[in-house]
Amino acid sequence: MRDRILGCILIVLCGAVYWATLDLPPPTYEPLGPAAFPRMLAVLIGVLAVPLILKPERYERDAGTDDVKPTPWMPVWLILGAVVFAIVMQSRMVSFAVTATVFLIYATAILTRFDRRGWLPTLIISPIIGFGLEYIFTSIFIIDLP
Amino acid sequence: MDMMSAIGALFSPLPVFFMALGTFLGITVGAIPGLTGAMLISLTLPLTFSMTPMHALVMLIGMYVGAISGGLISATLLRMPGTPSSIMTTLDGYPMARGGQPARALGFGISASFFGGCLAWIFLVALSRPLSELATKFGPFEIFSLVLMAIVLIASVSEGSLLRGIISGLLGMLVAIPGVDPAGGSLRLTFGFQDLTGGFGLLPVLIGVFAVGQIISDVADIDRKGELLAVKGKGMFLGLNDWIRNMGNLVRSSLIGTWIGILPGVGANIASIIAYTTTKNLSKTPERFGKGAEEGIIASESANNASVAGALIPLIAMGIPGSVIDAILLGAMTIHAVTPGALLFSNNPDLVVAIMGSALVTNFMMFGMMLFGAVYVAKLTLVPRARLLPIILLFCLLGSYAVTNSMYDVWVMLGFGVIGFCMERCKVPLGPFVIGLVLAPIAEPGLRSGLMITGGDILPLFTRPISGLFMAICIGMVIWQTRAEFKRRRKP
């Protein structure tokens, strides 16, 4: 199933790329022009995606080992946290140091499954990293952080 | 700048400091399972903007050498390879350590890494210049066919099938297309987005697929832990007898590693596997392999470290990366306005000396740091990943923002992080993707210039001697690999 979805996504992507190349100007002083290379790549990827749909490979279930169970929800929450972090950074409403501190506390809490034993070090380390990075980037690397 | 002053510059305090720092960070990151050299180097790249090209390159090379070597620590003591290139070391390193000789197992790995790095360095010095002169004879068709060969080679040795490898390489090339057409100046594939006018930045894409993709992967099995074996007793320093007894294996495996490194795109993982398999096949006691054979550790470690210097050869001689990490190094060179190839030797001889010199000096540093510090670095592998990964993700966000002070790059990085994770889950290898991404900007102009010269005739791509050879290797690899996969599938 995974291969079929991948193949379909690739074909849609290639269709979009091919469609976008139709608007490009025709070649003037050279045989190929700006559209030919991306079009060629799109067609090749599209053709190679067909076997993925027709002959998909069988995947083993990510069942984990005896003592390790996969945690599929954790990456989702982590990436959601990163997206919120990026939105807050883009809005420039809160300083980087504060946003980074909150993000670190949130991400560590998620990954430690809100384990109370780790709260104290997290609450100490996160602001040190957040404010420390802001200082290093703005004062040493001279990069304007939001 | 003459040779002596270039060497003198390399040994001044700052470059030595950056080499030591890079090697130390490389060893540490290499030793921690789940963190890779590619991740470290792509994350460090934005921080090198304020450095001189020399300082940046020597530090990144130190990281490269350190990361490939550091993987053996966790492979030996934890049965979890710190880097993919140490997978074969796990097979014999861990059983030897478990059998009561952890220090000796580490000693074999460290010494073999050092030997492999030193032997390959001789080839780096001897071959780079002649190869760069040969590359000046390359026309546009030769460049295009060389890029194709690099993608096919890495696709055929990557995890998964050839089909997925080639799709990955082509996708990498496609990602490099949006933006301004290099020949005509018109906008392509921007889909009306103003931000896409400049295309996707190389660094955000690299940080995304290597660092964020890896973080998502690691988080998915955050509970995976290993049991660290304590290093007791002496034996880290090999005796003369050990060196003499294993000299044949050391030389052979290092030569294999160097050669695999020189092949465009292939890299340390494959070098280690081929050297291990060759040594096992040639051994009089192959049954000992997998149960703590010192030959196994030596073959794997000497080959993967030799491939580092080997892979630098096509990078500095032709601008063709010998491995995935070299593709990132090529990105670093581009960012620092350094053009590899024959021009590098004539315009920036000091940088050539710095690159070659640092490959050797960091190898010595790695040897010293690992011999005296491997036991302490090993303890770092037990740092809970739940505390480490959020900090690394924060660095990813910050690093991609710092490239151009633009939030657009942060979104690109996050997007490609998810794409990289999905590609890995669908067994689409990331190596060809990065090689395609980095080399597309020379492949397309190569093809277009070639066709312009021949008036649209594609035949010279196959009839010119060098490009014909590259194309023959491409086609041969595709046929051979397809046959092998077909046979494998037919087996019950």
CB pairs A-B closer than 8 Å? 164
Residues of chain A neighbouring B398 (CB-CB closer than 8 A) = 100, 133, 137, 145
Given pLDDT bands bounded at 50, 70 and 90, which one contains residue A61? low
The mean per-residue pLDDT over the stretch B1-13 comes to 84
Residues of chain B neighbouring A86 (CB-CB closer than 8 A) = 397, 407, 410-411, 414
The mean per-residue pLDDT over the stretch A78-97 comes to 92
Residue A63's pLDDT is what?
A: 47
Given pLDDT bands bounded at 50, 70 and 90, which one contains residue B481? confident
Average pLDDT, chain A: 86
> Above 70 in pLDDT, residue B1?
no
List B residues 22-61 in contact with A (Cβ-Cβ < 8 A).
Answer: 47, 49-50
Residue type, B124: L
Least CB-CB distance to A111: which of B47, B386, B452? B386
Given pLDDT bands bounded at 50, 70 and 90, which one contains residue B32? confident
**For residue A69, is it left (φ>0), alpha (ψ between -120 and 50) or beta?**
beta
Work out the minimum CA distance from A76 to partner chain B, whole angstroms.
Answer: 8
Q: Please say whether the beta carbons of B292 and B95 come within 8 A.
A: yes
The mean per-residue pLDDT over the stretch A90-106 comes to 92
Residues of chain B neighbouring A1 (CB-CB closer than 8 A) = none
Given pLDDT bands bounded at 50, 70 and 90, which one contains residue A64? very low
Q: Does A97 touch chain B (CB under 8 A)?
A: no
Give which of A111, A115, A131 to mutate to test B binding, by max B Cβ within 10 Å.
A111
Residue B226's pLDDT is what?
A: 64
Residue B420's pLDDT is what?
A: 92
CA atoms in the 13 A half-sphere facing the CB of B359: 27
Cα–Cα distance list, A89 to A111, B140, B223, B412, B474 (Å): 22, 44, 31, 15, 46
Average pLDDT, chain B: 88
- The Cα–Cα gap between B366 and B56 comes to 18
**Residue A127: closest CA among chain B residues belongs to which residue?**
B391
Give the whole-number percent of chain B exceeding pLDDT 70: 97
Q: Between B226 and B229, whose confidence is greater? A: B229
Alpha helices in chain A (DSSP H): 2-21, 33-54, 73-91, 96-111, 119-135
> Between chains, do A28 and B167 touch, taking CB under 8 Å as contact?
no
Q: Does A91 touch chain B (CB under 8 A)?
A: no
Residue B235's pLDDT is what?
A: 73
Q: Does B287 touch chain A (CB under 8 A)?
A: no
Residue B387's pLDDT is what?
A: 86
> Between chains, do A34 and B417 touch, taking CB under 8 Å as contact?
no
> Between chains, do A34 and B186 touch, taking CB under 8 Å as contact?
yes
Q: What is the pTM of this model?
A: 0.84
Residues of chain A neighbouring B411 (CB-CB closer than 8 A) = 86
**Residue B455: closest CA among chain A residues belongs to which residue?**
A31
Which of A136-140, B319-323, B477-481 has the largest mean confidence? B477-481
The residue among B132, B32, B47, B123 whose CA lies nearest residue B82 is: B32
Give which of B214, B394, B447, B486 to mutate to test A binding, by max A Cβ within 10 Å.
B394
> Between chains, do A74 and B219 touch, taking CB under 8 Å as contact?
yes
Cα–Cα distance list, A7 to A46, B157, B438, B481 (Å): 8, 22, 24, 21
> Above 90 in pLDDT, residue A1?
no
Residue B50's pLDDT is what?
A: 82
Per the DSSP assignment, residues forming a β-bridge with B179 are B188
Residues of chain A neighbouring B421 (CB-CB closer than 8 A) = 75
DSSP secondary-structure letter at A117?
G
Residue A67's pLDDT is what?
A: 53
Q: Would you give the distance in Å from CA B355 to the centre of its chain?
A: 15
Q: Does B437 touch chain A (CB under 8 A)?
A: no
Residues of chain A neighbouring B455 (CB-CB closer than 8 A) = 31
Q: Which residues contact B346 (CB under 8 A, 6 or more apart)?
A: none
> Between chains, do A71 and B398 touch, taking CB under 8 Å as contact?
no
List B residues 164-203 in contact with A (Cβ-Cβ < 8 A).
Answer: 166-167, 170-171, 173-174, 177, 181, 183-184, 186, 188-189, 191
ipTM of the complex as predicted: 0.91
Residues of chain B neighbouring A90 (CB-CB closer than 8 A) = 407, 410
B44-70 tens-digit pLDDT: 888 888 889 999 999 999 999 999 999
